[in-house]
Chain A
Amino acid sequence: MRTAASRLAALAAAALMMVGGVAAAQDPAHPNLMGIWKVTRPVTAAKTIDGRIPPLLPPARAVYAKHLAMAAKGDRSFDGVSDCLPPGMPHIQLIAKPIEILQKPTAIFFNYQENRLPRRVYLNEQHPADWDVSYLGDSVGHWDDDTLVVDTTTMNDRSVLDPSGLPHSDKLHVVERFRLTKAGRLENRITVDDPKTYARPWTMVVRYDRMPAGYRLQEEVCRAGALESEAPPPLAAKGKPGH
């Protein structure tokens, strides 16, 4: 009896430790965003919440018209994604490929299947005062009740906002508000503020579905728009000098 009871107690203690371990590894104080997500519907052209074309200033409208005309002819050279460059923000959040979210109390990590790109969102920190501009910028975040607010700055102007080629400048400032909907989807309300490109800040909404448990991301290696993981051409084809 005593042996059985102590075994039960040990089992219960082990179970408690496991639960404690998992809880400690996650972030019990906030909604659980952990998992792999994919946009519910591919976003081909970002629109405002009421379905309008974003409020482009006249010079930017001309740039956008040029991009649309290029895309109509199959020329996507305005979008660095075709050259394996990072898509920029918020473009990377619109691509219809899996996004892994790792959640910790001090940071949220967005790991994109798209060319293995990462975005690190440190929580309750300030943007560094002196930081190089980059495609994906610098992101910091905080929880506003059940909503994760992510603030991204310090982006270069070499990417486009969305696959349709909406332009932006290096004054771009992106604020994302992530929350779980009642249906279990992840909703991202993205506000774009760029006074050199848009007449006023505007907001779009993107939703994501959780991929089934056990889903594994692929190693995606971009090469001139082709997925290496799907069709690896032989390296020798490039030629080796001296051989």
Chain B
Amino acid sequence: MKRESIWRALAAMAATQLAAAAMAQTPPPKPLMLHDDPALALTNISHPGRPAPEGTAPPNPNMHSIEGRWWTSEFKPLLGPAPGVPPPLKPAAMAKLEQSVRNKNKGIPEADASTQCFPHGTPRVMESPYPLEIVETPGQVTILMETQHNIRRIYLQDHHNKMGESFLGDSIGHWEGDTLVVDTIGMNTRTFIDDEGSTHSNKQHVVERFRKIDGGSKLEVTNTIEDPDTLEHPYSYKTVYYWRPDMRTQEYVCEENNRNTVINGITTAK
């Protein structure tokens, strides 16, 4: 079945919420702000993902496997320790984020890696509101993402491959009980941590803890980021994905913008 674009669904949901708010004569939700300054309004958190529809194959009850197709339950433009809270950035990095948010609100999006069809970087790539498919094979966990056909390879070994810097970095993993712990280093500095423009250095270190919850119907990833150059201290946040075996990945050709288009500064479905 042809899948309706996620951005179209997002736009529809936002419109429904606004209409409901108008009917109830309550003002629309106050936008999140970086600081108390309308020029620093943040993009609101969206909820693109939905659980699998009725009749979908039940989740794999083996909690020691995270294999399958998943779709994020929440699109977070800012990846801080809580909703609407920025990462604990050092002053220089915070100034860059503020500038980025100001520019976005003036309709001048940052020319970052993703706008040039490069990979979004780790951890931002995991926030993509498009499906991902996890494949487990001996010695390797592979995450195939629809977004910009990114492929993350997590080698189940105890040492990094150290092949030089890359956008998605150098990931290794091991199982602790039913939790897959993924350790990533080696990211280049050409990406942001998040959509709003939190920056990182090439000393960024990301530890993700993947585990299935709710009988396998959800995948929870607890993400801890440390970066001695740009962060005051390490911080963590969680992302939850729905089990969606019914989703079939489409071809994403960023160079032709076949999956998105930008209307009034917001990425929307064609």
A residues in contact (CB < 8 Å) with B: 22, 25-26, 34, 83-86, 102-104, 107, 109, 111, 115-118, 120, 128-132, 134-136, 216-219, 221, 223, 228-229, 232, 235, 238-243
Contacts and interface: CB of A to CB of B under 8 A. Distances in A.
B253 A218 contact: no
B113 interface: yes
Interface of A (DSSP majority class) = loop
B142 interface: yes
The DSSP consensus for interface residues of chain B is loop
Contacts of A131: 2
Nearest to B109: A241
B167 interface: yes
Interface of B: 1-2, 99, 103, 106, 108, 110-113, 116-119, 133, 135-138, 140, 142, 144, 149-151, 153, 155, 161, 163-164, 166-168, 188, 190, 248-251, 253, 255-256
17 contacts: A25-B136, A34-B138, A85-B253, A103-B137, A104-B135, A116-B149, A117-B149, A118-B144, A132-B2, A134-B251, A135-B251, A218-B163, A232-B190, A235-B113, A235-B190, A240-B110, A242-B108
Most A CB within 10 A of own CB, among B112, B116, B119, B151: B151
Q: What are the 6 tightest A-B residue pairs by CB atom distance, in nearest-first order?
A: A134-B251, A219-B166, A242-B108, A130-B2, A242-B103, A240-B111
Nearest to A27: B137
A229 B166 contact: yes
Given A103-B137, A109-B144, A118-B144, A134 B113 contact: no
Contacts of A219: 119, 166-168
Nearest to A240: B111
B118 A228 contact: yes
Contacts of A25: 136-138
Contacts of B117: 84, 223
B106 A242 contact: yes
Given A102-B140, A221-B119, 13 more contacts: A84-B255, A85-B253, A85-B255, A86-B251, A104-B135, A116-B149, A120-B144, A128-B1, A219-B166, A228-B118, A235-B116, A240-B110, A241-B111
Nearest to A117: B149
A120 B150 CA distance: 13
A229 B188 CA distance: 10
Given A120-B133, A232-B190, A217 B144 contact: no
A160 B34 CA distance: 49
A118 B151 contact: yes
Contacts of A128: 1-2, 248
Contact of B253 (A135, A223, A238, A243): A135
A85 B256 contact: yes
Contacts of A129: 1
A67 B220 CA distance: 51
Nearest to A84: B255
Nearest to B140: A102
